[in-house]
């Protein structure tokens, strides 16, 4: 799958949002009872990039931040995590967006996003003309997520980058990571059409069961795989939480069992699975091996508290060896 990208400077280049997440130092309590909070790099693409860098993968991020102290902090922190930040640019007149995220005593997650068009939405300024060909083809894999597809002009920018990457033989991955509340003013039919269009640009499509139900218009796991593959991807991975993952690769269906762990913090679990799968492919694993590696990367992530380091490649590989 990756044999035609020997000239790529990086393993992966991703496009998507980067923001600062404020989260309690201790989970499992109501927000009004929290005494200490901490900032973390966040946004689905930034989470993915950070998790991927921890897995010994050379990853660059195409993103925009505000021309403020938070933007400088965020870019610096991503660089310290091992992410190549040369494609992250600050936008004058914009503030860096912030999110609040926490998990209560019952494990329910809550998110508040402070990202306002024209004031605190630097990614909303990135359009087709801002995409440099050198950026789109910098990695052996070009990766984009649902966050890049919600609105114009970013949607056209991401799709243009995907087309450029495909034209030169790069592998393109699309991770759905759907957040309904972020698609204000768009009908379900419009959202489905947009998701189908994104999948049609991809060689690999990654999503959870609910997202697959939306895109494929069926709840049946095997029909989901085939309907999504009919849109264009040769590899489709559907993660199903405790039920593991269901996947199709070039017509062959595989199942991957989930590992049972104690959950401490599962925000970003999907990004860790996504990163684990791509890191596995980059390291030379086949698709089913990479999916098992991804499942173990996600298991390690959710068994750690917020702010703990992402699991490293050797650590995940040791855990994966227990399956053999």
pLDDT above 80 for 128: yes
Residue 14 domain-assigned (yes or no): yes
Query: Among the listed ranges 58-67, 101-110, 197-206, 222-231, which one has the minimum average pLDDT value?
Result: 101-110
Q: What is the mean pLDDT of residues 281-302?
A: 90
Q: What is the mean pLDDT of residues 56-72?
A: 98
For residue 38, list its beta bridge partners.
Answer: 23
Residue 1 domain-assigned (yes or no): no
Residue 3 domain-assigned (yes or no): no
Split at pLDDT 50, 70, 90, the class of 267 is low
Extract the tokens encoding 255.
């199942």
Count the Cβ atoms, other than its own, within 10 Å of residue 137: 23
Can you give the pLDDT at residue 155?
Answer: 97
Tell me what the pLDDT averaged over the chain comes to: 90
Residue 61 domain-assigned (yes or no): yes
Q: What is the mean pLDDT of residues 73-85?
A: 98
How many domains is the chain partitioned into structurally? 1
Residue 65: which domain range?
Answer: 10-321
User: pTM for the whole thing?
Assistant: 0.91
Residue 2 domain-assigned (yes or no): no
From the list 216, 303, 236, the residue with the least C-alpha distance to 266 is 303
Can you give the pLDDT at residue 107?
Answer: 64
Q: In this prediction, what percent of the chain has a pLDDT beyond 70?
A: 92
Residue 188 domain-assigned (yes or no): yes
Place of tokens 């083809």: 137
Distance CA 13, CA 137 (A): 8
Distance CA 93, CA 118 (A): 8
Residue 5 domain-assigned (yes or no): no
Can you give the pLDDT at residue 306?
Answer: 66
Q: In this structure, are residues 125 and 131 in contact, taking their beta carbons and an 8 Å threshold?
A: no
Greater confidence, 62 or 243?
Answer: 62
- The string of pLDDT tens digits covering residues 19-61 is 999 988 777 777 777 888 899 999 989 999 999 999 999 999 9
Extract the tokens encoding 76.
């610096």
Can you give the pLDDT at residue 184?
Answer: 85
Q: In this prediction, what percent of the chain has a pLDDT beyond 90?
A: 64
Distance CA 213, CA 208 (A): 9
What value, to the nearest 5°, has the Cα angle with vertex 67 and ends 65 and 68? 100
Q: How far is CA 186 from the centre of its chain?
A: 22
Query: Among the listed ranges 23-27, 89-93, 112-116, 187-191, which one has the minimum average pLDDT value?
Result: 23-27
Distance CA 24, CA 38 (A): 6
Q: Residue 50's domain is classified under what CATH number? A: 3.40.1190.20
Residue 82 domain-assigned (yes or no): yes
């Amino acid at each position: 799958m990756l044999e035609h990208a020997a000239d790529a400077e990086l393993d992966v280049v991703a496009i998507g949002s980067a923001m600062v997440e404020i989260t309690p130092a201790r989970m499992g309590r109501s927000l009004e009872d929290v005494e200490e909070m901490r900032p973390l790099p966040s946004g689905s693409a930034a989470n993915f990039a950070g998790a991927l860098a921890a897995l010994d993968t050379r990853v660059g991020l195409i993103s925009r931040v505000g021309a403020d102290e938070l933007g400088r902090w965020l870019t610096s922190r991503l660089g310290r995590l091992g992410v190549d930040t040369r494609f992250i640019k600050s936008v004058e007149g914009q503030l860096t967006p912030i999110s609040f995220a926490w998990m209560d005593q019952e494990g329910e997650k809550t998110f508040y996003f402070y990202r306002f068009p024209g004031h605190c939405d630097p990614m909303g300024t990135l359009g087709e003309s801002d995409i440099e060909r050198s950026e789109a083809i910098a990695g052996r894999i070009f990766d984009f997520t649902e966050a890049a597809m919600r609105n114009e002009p970013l949607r056209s920018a991401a799709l243009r980058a995907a087309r450029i990457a495909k034209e030169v033989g790069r592998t393109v991955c699309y991770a759905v990571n759907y957040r309904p509340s972020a698609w204000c003013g768009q009908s379900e039919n419009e959202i489905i059409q947009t998701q189908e269009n994104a999948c049609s640009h991809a060689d690999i499509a990654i999503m959870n069961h609910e997202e697959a139900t939306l895109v494929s218009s069926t709840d049946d796991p095997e029909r989901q795989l085939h309907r999504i593959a009919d849109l264009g991807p040769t590899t489709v991975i559907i993660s199903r939480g405790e039920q593991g993952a269901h996947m199709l690769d070039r017509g062959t269906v595989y199942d991957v069992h989930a590992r049972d762990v104690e959950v401490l913090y599962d925000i970003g679990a999907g990004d860790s699975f996504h990163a684990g799968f791509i890191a596995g492919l980059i390291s030379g694993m086949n698709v089913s091996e990479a999916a098992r590696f991804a499942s173990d990367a996600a298991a390690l992530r959710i068994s750690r508290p917020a702010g703990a380091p992402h699991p490293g490649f050797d650590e995940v590989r040791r855990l994966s060896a227990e399956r053999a």
